[in-house]
Amino acid sequence: MSTLVIVESPTKARTIRKYLPNDYQVEASMGHIRDLPQSASEIPAAVKKEKWSQLGVNVEADFEPIYVVPKDKKKVVKTLKDALKNATELVLATDEDREGESISWHLLQVLKPKVPTKRMVFHEITEEAIQNALHHCRDLNEQLVHAQETRRILDRLVGYTLSPLLWKKIAPKLSAGRVQSVAVRLIVMRERERRAFRMGSYWDLKAHLSKDNTPFDAKLISVDGTKVATGSDFDENTGQIKAGRNVQLLNEADANALKERLLGKPWNVSNFEERQNRRKPAPPFTTSTLQQEANRKLRLSARDTMRVAQSLYENGYITYMRTDSVHLSEQAIAAARECVTQMYGPDYLSPQPRQYATKSKGAQEAHEAIRPAGNRFRTPRETGLKDRELALYDLIWKRTVASQMAEVRQTSLSVDLSVENALFRANGKRIDFPGFFRAYVEGSDDPDAALENREAILPALAVGDRPDCQDIEAVGHETQPPARFTEASLVKTLESEGIGRPSTYASIIGTIIDRGYAQMQNNALVPSFTAFAVCSLLENYFPDLVDLHFTAKMEATLDRISTGDVEWIPYLREFYSGDKGLDTQVRQQEDQIEPTEAKTIVLENLPVNVRIGKFGPYLETEKDGETITASIPQNLTPSDLDSEQVEVLLRQKTEGPDKLGMHPETGEPIYILIGSYGPYVQLGEVSDENPKPKRASLPKGQTPETITLETAVGLLSLPRLLGVHPESGNKIQAGLGRFGPYIVHKKGGEDGKDDYRSIRASSEDDVLTIPLERALEMLAEPKRGRGRRGSKKKPMRELGDHPTDKEPLNIYDGPYGPYIKYKRKNISIPDGDSAEELTLERAVELIAAKSSSRKTSTAKRKTTSKKTSTAKRKTTSKKTSNSDS
């Protein structure tokens, strides 16, 4: 007699196990166990001949989906089937949202239980909640399942009909989708705005004043009652003052003249305003807000944030990390309030427990907000966590605790000061009661806004006061183009539009980067030329699908499907086969979309065309009846491409490369060229005798404009001999490699390997001038490795040495939880054991078990590496011969 309970995740399985009777067995489905075939290899042979097989959906027969169990889920299904054999009852306890309901339905379809089956849902993992849920089981909600199928099928239809169109018209392997294409479009639209942006400049005055020895600053507001122009008065597209603004624009001369006129004149306080306001703390974290804050405050990518959060979750530090809910359980609120009282005192507690309402579109709220786990929150210090885990936990702890703290009370002050016919203003801010600021201040994408939280002290001033003026400064300003999207601001926008789900925000960014639609530059997402081409095609021919509101409209329909107000198959039929349906449109538009046109990117104010070619983007133009093409270097983005850049690239192509000068010794010419990997110098010309002339990339920081003949000669003479190592007597050289400048001790390392050290761009050292002494110094230091901070990670626990070979055994904390490291092997700690209590004996056992099972290790794995051409990896042998014996 036993009951089998199935949930999504192993961690959840472990926790609810505690609250269930002994004869209950809990297993995890690991998310969805069935899906539409992902690629051609998964399409069942029976339907392979059908026209629609590539879609995985029979669009000719009521959109019947072909579901398959993907390879990596076969094992899970087998485990579940085995478990079911011993069960007298099945309880499906997946999340209560659309996807969760669907997972349960697929489980039923695949497991075909012969025993009674119930559906159970709970929102909190407490004994009470689980007991309660167990006694209030219900049936599967078929309408909700249909809503999920509709979502799944619609996404498939969009993705798998538009992507092939892009392969035909623009380039192979591109992709389009309901979510990613809107994300790309947001980035492209912002870049267009940036391209269209025209800078405006203006001047104003800043006065340094003081009253009773307290200094303060004031800014010029108006002269003769007319407002002085500031940034917001400018039109972004012209760089001029917006039409109809009654302002006066000061240039440098105006500002200086005014300054001279006002210096030494008496100042007078003409107005004084004080305004009190209050601020509430931000709600506890959801996936989206956690990713935003971790990106802003810890500079973590969305993906890294999730990895660290997963580890915190699995080790019981935080609640589930994929959620769109800001809801806190009663226990959590009590725990947060307890923390406030303990750490900050009762004055800092919000008078009433604060509960926030989720307002993002399409939220499904199957979980709580992300918060410290348990009924008593461990302080960050108590956890014993380190590095990123500590930093992220700290962030979550503070945000949760702050949400139950008192409001901030502050006073804003605005003081007007007259001098002659000019009016200045000083703004101040006083924090009367810091409230939740004591624990947490929300980050911002806008550096100016971050300053807003700071206090700005003003002396006590009253109308009629006459402060002293020490100095007046004329300050020049330039208007800024709209900022590019960061991961944080993109996730924020997507979430507020209801696009994407907590489990996908991180991967959306991954997808658009993998497809070459965007690249990351200084934490900003910069779209590629391909992104421009794809985006334009979609906007021109499928505007509805890339509309920002498409997902929200779809969600509204899905909701109606789940309540039974709309039928799912007619909706899909209309969407795909209707007069304005997707399939109909693709058929009609296909002939009209000219590939040449689709590959061409229209960039305003450019005298040439940019086209997407087999080897990346290139310029194309006509000159004297001939077509000239020129590659665009990889790291040159649409925003960098102005007519000046175009001219350089084309001139290089038509007139040959720029000659930097002659080599002082050989007399050969040295050229400066731009290739797809950026600028480089070349000695001599390509000819039959000399098919591969000596070349060298310009090191970081050098541009074709700044490089001198001397540097070029130096670069071309690399690698350079510095001298010999005093101990080994071997050569020490400095050179320029694929990863930048380096020094090397030839055959100097242990086991006869060359010993390399990178010359860091941030250091004072230069490959061309670095002396032997400095090189020896660098070689004496250990390699820095590729790790984030320092080379060696500190173990979480040291277990001691292995009894047979005395090699150390340590426990480390990895992205997927703690693991044992022994020699070069990593063994994760199984469910039954804990990292804190594991003994040396047990570890040795686990290692032995691992070595024997590894003999039949997977033969090959799909390579997921992107662009290996530029980053060839040494393939390390996977044989475990040293430990198998």
Partner DNA sequence: CAGTGAGCGAGCTTCCGCTTGACTT
Q: How many CB atoms lie within 10 A of CB 720?
A: 17
Contact window for DNA (CB under 7 A) among 221-229, 477-485, 692-700, 802-810: 692-700
Contact yes or no for 365/324 (Cβ under 8 A): yes
Measured CA to CA, the distance from residue 100 to residue 29 in angstroms comes to 11
Instruction: Give the containing element (helix H, strand E) for 772.
Output: helix 772-780
Backbone angles phi, psi at 776, to 5 degrees: -65, -40
Query: Six-digit token pair at 537?
Result: 């095609």
Query: Six-digit token pair at 798?
Result: 């040291």
Out of 502, 516, 714, 818, the only residue in the binding site for DNA (CB under 7 A) is: 502
Instruction: Give the containing element (helix H, strand E) for 775.
Output: helix 772-780
Q: How many CB atoms lie within 10 A of CB 839?
A: 11
Give me the amino acid identity at 496.
Answer: S
Out of 50, 124, 155, 539, the only residue in the binding site for DNA (CB under 7 A) is: 155
Residue 704 DSSP class: T
In the complex with DNA, the residue whose CB is nearer, 428 or 616, is 616
Output the furthest CA–CA distance in the chain (Å, rounded): 96
Catalytic one among 67, 160, 313, 320?
Answer: 320
Contact yes or no for 120/137 (Cβ under 8 A): yes
Closest separation between CB of residue 812 and DNA, Å?
9
In the complex with DNA, the residue whose CB is nearer, 610 or 732, is 610
Handedness of CA 225, 226, 229, 230 (dihedral sign): positive
Measured CA to CA, the distance from residue 171 to residue 516 in angstroms comes to 11
Q: How many CB atoms lie within 10 A of CB 514?
A: 15
In the complex with DNA, the residue whose CB is nearer, 337 or 599, is 599
Residues between 586 and 615 with contacts to DNA, criterion CB under 7 A: 613-615
Backbone angles phi, psi at 621, to 5 degrees: -155, 165
Out of 4, 66, 91, 179, the only residue in the binding site for DNA (CB under 7 A) is: 179
Residues sharing a CB contact under 8 Å with residue 808, sequence separation 6 or more, in sequence order: 798, 799, 800, 801, 802, 822
- CA distances (Å), origin 437, targets 260, 290, 404, 441: 43, 18, 12, 6
Does residue 320 carry a catalytic annotation?
yes
In the complex with DNA, the residue whose CB is nearer, 439 or 674, is 674
Contact window for DNA (CB under 7 A) among 135-143, 263-271, 350-358, 694-702: 694-702
156 near DNA, rule: CB under 7 A: yes
Out of 159, 435, 527, 704, the only residue in the binding site for DNA (CB under 7 A) is: 159
Closest separation between CB of residue 23 and DNA, Å?
25
- CA distances (Å), origin 730, targets 267, 722, 724, 749: 75, 11, 5, 10
175 near DNA, rule: CB under 7 A: yes
322 near DNA, rule: CB under 7 A: yes
Closest separation between CB of residue 323 and DNA, Å?
9
DSSP three-state, residue 396: helix
Contact window for DNA (CB under 7 A) among 213-221, 562-570, 668-676, 756-764: 668-676
Binding marks (x or -) toward DNA, 782..821, rule CB under 7 A? ---xx---------------------------xxxx----
Out of 577, 600, 828, 851, the only residue in the binding site for DNA (CB under 7 A) is: 828
Closest separation between CB of residue 532 and DNA, Å?
15
Closest separation between CB of residue 13 and DNA, Å?
9
Query: Six-digit token pair at 737?
Result: 């490699």
Binding marks (x or -) toward DNA, 54..93, rule CB under 7 A? x-----------------x---------------------
Q: How many CB atoms lie within 10 A of CB 14?
A: 16
Binding marks (x or -) toward DNA, 193..232, rule CB under 7 A? ----------------------------------------
Residues sharing a CB contact under 8 Å with residue 587, sequence separation 6 or more, in sequence order: none
Q: How many CB atoms lie within 10 A of CB 701?
A: 7
Residues between 507 and 566 with contacts to DNA, criterion CB under 7 A: 508, 511, 515
Closest separation between CB of residue 544 and DNA, Å?
15
* Omega within 30 of 0 (cis) for the link into 353: no
Closest separation between CB of residue 825 and DNA, Å?
7
Residues between 843 and 882 with contacts to DNA, criterion CB under 7 A: 854, 857-858, 874, 876, 878
Binding marks (x or -) toward DNA, 13..52, rule CB under 7 A? ---------------x-xxx--xx-xxxx-----------
Measured CA to CA, the distance from residue 549 to residue 541 in angstroms comes to 17
Closest separation between CB of residue 494 and DNA, Å?
9
504 near DNA, rule: CB under 7 A: yes
Residues sharing a CB contact under 8 Å with residue 596, sequence separation 6 or more, in sequence order: none
Residues between 271 and 310 with contacts to DNA, criterion CB under 7 A: 310
Interstrand relation of 3-7 and 89-92 (parallel, antiparallel or unpaired): parallel
In the complex with DNA, the residue whose CB is nearer, 5 or 630, is 630
Residues between 722 and 741 with contacts to DNA, criterion CB under 7 A: 738
Closest separation between CB of residue 39 and DNA, Å?
3
Residues between 454 and 473 with contacts to DNA, criterion CB under 7 A: none
Residue labelled with tokens 């290739």: 675
In the complex with DNA, the residue whose CB is nearer, 545 or 799, is 545
Closest separation between CB of residue 723 and DNA, Å?
26
In the complex with DNA, the residue whose CB is nearer, 264 or 691, is 691
178 near DNA, rule: CB under 7 A: yes
In the complex with DNA, the residue whose CB is nearer, 241 or 796, is 796
Give me the amino acid identity at 834.
Answer: S
Size of the site for DNA (CB under 7 A): 94
Calculate Rg over the CA atoms of the chain. Answer: 33
Residues between 363 and 402 with contacts to DNA, criterion CB under 7 A: 364
Active site residues: 320
